[in-house]
Amino acid sequence: MITMEHVCKSYRVAKRNAGMKEACKALFHRQVESIHALSDVSFTIGDGEMVGYIGPNRAGKSSTIKILSGILTPDSGSCYVDGRIPWKNRIEHVRQIGVVFGQRSQLWWDVPVIDSFALLKDIYSISTPQYEHNLEELTDLLHLQELLKTPTRQLSLGQRMRCEIAASLLHQPNILFLDEPTIGLDAVSKLAVRDFILRLNQEHKTTVILTTHDMQDIEALTQRVILIGKGRVLLDGTLADMRKKVSLYKSDSNIREGNINDLSLDEIIACLYRQMHIA
């Protein structure tokens, strides 16, 4: 069970105007602006749920994931993941969760993938039979047989992402955070990744929280969607709820009368972003 209550987080950003003169001025005096990445975010996610966490760039999606995985400390508010406060005891917490950052890599660049996996076995103190069992299952489901002996640098993005996901699941976490897992993948890899996540959730009852800009991911995977914008939760419901919400704003010139159901998911989301002034 994951609960977040009234979580706020702001970053300080140094700003200055263009030009040499301004740059020199900034040497002595920096103008610092506070940016509120999260202001008063609250939600609850039950065990075994699969939740899509969406919103435009800069909405605060990644910040939320980072707080839940113990990397960031929020300014205020409370957060419990299975009773643990993620940032209070980072090491204990991360033992129980899996995280995939779609834009980063956790595999060692110059060595075969299997070496990175063996390291993870020791890091998470996974027993040998358990490790072999999990590896076999993951290899099977994600079709990694050919990839394990290849150095990471020689894998394609899709191949690498499959290995990244396997790496995050070797220790059988009961919660998995996926931060844009399908970014940059081709159709085949995307489908393979989606299919795998679905099976993982069904067979192992793993709680999955997924951030993405790909609405098809959301449609294929999740019942529940949390929409976040400018650091606030704007909507917590199903995709159908979103469609309904959009239809309330008939004044939007982008929505042609009466054919809301013809709009693609991306168009609906774009309308929603515009209407809520978070685009």
Partner 1 sequence: MKKQSTIQREFSLRKYFSFFRLRFNMGIQYRTAAAAGMVTQFVWGFMECFVYKAFYDSNPAAFPMEFSSMMAYIWLQQAFLMFFATWMMDNEIFDLIINGNIAYELCRPVSIYNMWFAKNAANRLSKAVLRCFPILITALLLPEPFRMPLPKDIGTAILFVGTMALGLGVTVAFCILVYILSFFMVSSQGIRILLTSLVDFFCGSIVPIPFLPEPLRTVVELLPFAGMQNVPLRIYSSDLAGTEMTRAVGLQLFWFVLMVGLGKWLCRIAERRVVVQGG
Binding site for partner 1 (CB under 8 A): 11, 62, 66, 69-73, 90-92, 94-95, 97, 99, 101-106, 108, 110-111, 115-116, 118-119, 122-125, 179-180
Closest distance of CB 87 from partner 1, Å: 8
> Smaller CB distance to partner 1: residue 103 or 251?
103
Closest distance of CB 215 from partner 1, Å: 18
Closest distance of CB 217 from partner 1, Å: 16
- What pairs with residue 84 in β-bridges? 81
> Smaller CB distance to partner 1: residue 4 or 67?
67
Closest distance of CB 263 from partner 1, Å: 27
Contact 116, 108 (CB under 8 A): yes
Closest distance of CB 262 from partner 1, Å: 32
> Smaller CB distance to partner 1: residue 114 or 260?
114
> Smaller CB distance to partner 1: residue 105 or 172?
105
> Smaller CB distance to partner 1: residue 86 or 224?
86
Closest distance of CB 248 from partner 1, Å: 32
> Smaller CB distance to partner 1: residue 1 or 123?
123
